[in-house]
Amino acid sequence: MFLMMNMLEKMESIPALIVSGTFGVLAAVLATYVSARRAIKYLYESRLLERKEKAYIELIEAFHDVIDPLQIWLEITESQREANHPDELVFRAKYREGLRKIRKATDIGAFYFPANVMAVLDRLRKGEIKDPTSGEVSVYEYYDEQLSVHRKALGEIIEIARGETSGELA
């Protein structure tokens, strides 16, 4: 009889053991799931931040590819420009290449840049600058205006990028 009672006590503790074991396993699975989700989210955010920083770097470099030749061209004296300065074609080619890079960076950046950066780029792309071939402005005035517009846009984008990329994952 004693043996029967001892077995009955053990059988009563088996369901309690199963229930407590099940809770332990469920808690471990839940903890693993939550920590894995957090790790994946952090990895995704850090990769997104890296891509965003790369897109900003490419865009800023493209702006410099436009601004630098413009600055050099504007520093050349008018008499040198009229005499067809030997580097003028090089400057113009670099300028056009820089504009192409800005268009490319703008298209790629649409995936990473916030709306305010895209607004600056759209405003720049639409360009309210008069065409020098229309005779309304001289070529010098045209490039001077291009330089100031691109510098202003670059300054705005750098300010936005600073706030956008500093300490996002901290």
Kindly tell me the burial class for residue 154, based on how many C-beta atoms sit within 10 Å of its own C-beta (0-12, 13-18, 19 or more).
buried
Rounded Cα–Cα distance for residues 101 and 66 (Å): 9
pTM of structure: 0.68
Planar angle of CA 146, 148, 149, nearest 5 degrees: 65
Rounded Cα–Cα distance for residues 141 and 152 (Å): 16
> Which pLDDT band, with edges at 50, 70 and 90, does 169 fall under?
very low
Structure-token pair, residue 141: 């005035």
Query: What is the residue extent of each domain of the chain?
Result: 50-165
Q: Is the pLDDT of residue 34 over 90?
A: no
Residues shown for the chain: 170
Rounded Cα–Cα distance for residues 108 and 70 (Å): 24
> Which pLDDT band, with edges at 50, 70 and 90, does 170 fall under?
very low
